[in-house]
Amino acid sequence: MALTLVPSALVLPVTAVERVLRIATVVLVLIVELLNSSIEAAIDRIGFDTHLLSKRAKDLGSVAVLLELLLLASTWGLVLAPWLATLGAAR
C-alpha cells in the first residue's frame, strides 16, 4: 500500500502541507504496524498458550493499527475531496 500511496502523494496536485500529511499518515501506518508486530513477537516468544493478558496485548496492537488506517483514510479523503470534486464538475 505504501508503494502506491507515497508516489501518488508526490504526483497529485495538492499543497505542500497536504502532501506532508498524506505521506506522514502512510509512514505512521508502517510505524504502528512495526510496533504491533514487535508486541506479537514478544508475546509469542513467551509462549503460544492462551493467556488473557497476552490476548489483550495483541488485540490492542491490532486496534492501534486499525485506528491508524482509519486516520489514513480520513486524511486522504479530506485532502482529495476538493480535488475529486473539481474532476466531477469538469465532466
Is the residue at 91 inside a domain? no
At residue 33, does pLDDT exceed 70? yes
The band of 35, judged by pLDDT with boundaries at 50, 70 and 90, is very high
**CATH number of the domain encompassing residue 28:** 1.10.287.3610
19/63 Cα distance (integer angstroms):
26
Average pLDDT, the chain: 90
Is the residue at 28 inside a domain? yes
CB atoms within 10 A of CB 51: 12
At residue 90, does pLDDT exceed 70? no
Is the residue at 29 inside a domain? yes
Catalytically active residues, by annotation: 33
Task: Indicate the pTM of the whole model.
Answer: 0.83
Cell readout for 72 is 489514513
51/86 Cα distance (integer angstroms):
53
At residue 72, does pLDDT exceed 90? yes
The band of 45, judged by pLDDT with boundaries at 50, 70 and 90, is confident
Nearest CA among 5, 9, 3, 4 for reference residue 83 = 9
Is the residue at 42 inside a domain? yes
